[in-house]
Chains A and B, each alone.
Chain A
Amino acid sequence: MGYLIYTRVNAYSLAPTLEPEDFSKFSWYEIPFQYLWDYFSHAWICLLFAFTAAGLVYEFIPKEVITKYMGSNKVAGYALGAGLAPFFTVCSCTMVPLFAGILYTGAGIGPAITFLLMAPAANILTILITGEFLSWEIAIVRILVSLAAAVLAGVIISRTPWGKAIEKEHQINQNTSVAQQTIELVKPPLDERLISALKFGGYLAKQIMPYFIIGLIVVGYVTAYTPPELIKGYLTGIVGVLLASVIGGPLYTPTLVEIVLGRSLLQLGMSKAALLSWLMGQPYDIPNMMAVSRIVRWKVVLTYALIVWLCSVTFGLLYGIITGSL
């Protein structure tokens, strides 16, 4: 902890330091090792901190809040969906169940969609790593625009006829007060909670790291062999925003890899505006859509994917115009 504060104070770079040009020096078999080494020699403390923080937050967030107030009314539903999603969904196994739960109780489809879209874009891990590897400006902008897109998508879908149909089909009863009496959580002592928080952080790391490492190797090659002219030609300007928003989604890789790849592309010359669109493409990734489409129909999934895509293009362009980095 002390070391962490120390590094913060000294503004020591926790992000990797290799520039794309450095890669041309290495032969093909050296690239993954050099790239991984670069990442882990610099980024390990940032990753360690992110996983520990995620574990702690998840353990100590009062989970009763979501069960108690989610069913009450629409506004509370939206606020909770957007505000709490970042704290609840570091683990993918909680996301779809919570989505379904929110949909079935009083809050309905709007808040459920908001929650679903907000979750991958703004969970603790993603925010910390985006801030550290890319920039805190991009991290904060990412949260704000994801919030806007998520609420917008929720509100719009809750007004479409097909959205309303699903809501009606799934709603059980408005009276959730009955349910509250059947929940009496036991709280373990503090030391046990701390240990389980660390265990959960470790579990997250174990789940994510293998994909992260494979992702890093691939990104290493992409960084080494993509000519910067190609990126400068296609991933800047309005075309850049459009292209980035389109490939960002389907190319969605396991959590965190999109940040690393985004960082490489940025170094190779992608504009900051395109980077924002790239990062916003995440919520409509294919596996996520598959899981959700089992609960709601494809029409709803396609509607929210379209809204998020439009938002990612709009906000990417806006960000580019405002910061002059199109």
Chain B
Amino acid sequence: MKEVKVEIIGPEPACVRCQTAKKIVEKAVEKLERDGIIVKMDKVNIISKDVVSKYGVLVSPAIAVNGTVKIMGRVPREEEIERLIRETAK
């Protein structure tokens, strides 16, 4: 099982919906870690040049799994994140 990298992309200071998204990801990660999936979670700034040059213009909150933006401009459900990470970890 390889390590999965999850990035939560939002503005700094984080907006309310980005904080919600982060909490949801945290919960999902907690669950996944009990199953032995290693997740590296990162909070990155949407207006940093690194992010823009890597992903282009984004709508916050966005969530990238292993360097691919999967969710943009919405708060996902916990199960959805869990499923996404599991699929990537396979």
Residues of A within 8 A of B (CB): 58-59, 63-64, 66-67, 70-71, 88, 91-94, 96-98, 100-102, 104-105, 170, 172-173, 176, 179-180, 182-186, 188, 192, 196, 199-200, 203, 207, 295
Contact = CB atoms under 8 A, between A and B. Distances in A.
Nearest to A173: B53
Contact of B46 (A100, A172, A183, A203): A100
Given A102-B57, A105-B52, A182 B84 contact: no
Interface in B58-83: 58-60, 64, 67-77, 80
A94 B72 CA distance: 11
Contacts of A102: 57
Contact of B58 (A101, A172, A173): A101
B54 interface: yes
Contacts of B17: 91, 93, 203
B57 A101 contact: yes
A37 to B, nearest CB: 30
A94 B18 CA distance: 10
Given A67-B56, A71-B56, A207-B16, A93 B68 contact: no
A168 B7 CA distance: 28
B69 to A, nearest CB: 4
Interface of B: 10-11, 15-18, 46-47, 49, 52-60, 64, 67-77, 80, 84
A96 B15 CA distance: 11
Contact of B15 (A66, A93, A98): A93
Contact of B55 (A91, A179, A207): A179
B56 A97 contact: no
Contacts of A185: 69-72
A101 B10 CA distance: 12
Given A97-B10, A182-B55, 12 more contacts: A58-B73, A67-B56, A93-B18, A93-B60, A96-B11, A101-B57, A105-B57, A170-B49, A176-B56, A179-B53, A183-B55, A184-B70
A295 B10 CA distance: 16
Greatest chain A CB density within 10 A among B53, B59, B60, B69 is at: B59
A105 B60 contact: no
Q: Which 5 A-B pairs have the closest CB atoms?
A: A93-B15, A101-B57, A179-B56, A100-B47, A104-B52
A121 to B, nearest CB: 20
Given A94-B60, A101-B56, A196-B75, A182 B67 contact: yes
Given A182-B64, A207-B16, A63 B59 contact: yes
Contacts of B16: 93, 203, 207
17 contacts: A63-B59, A63-B72, A66-B57, A67-B56, A67-B58, A71-B57, A98-B57, A101-B46, A104-B53, A173-B53, A182-B69, A183-B68, A184-B68, A184-B69, A185-B69, A196-B75, A295-B47
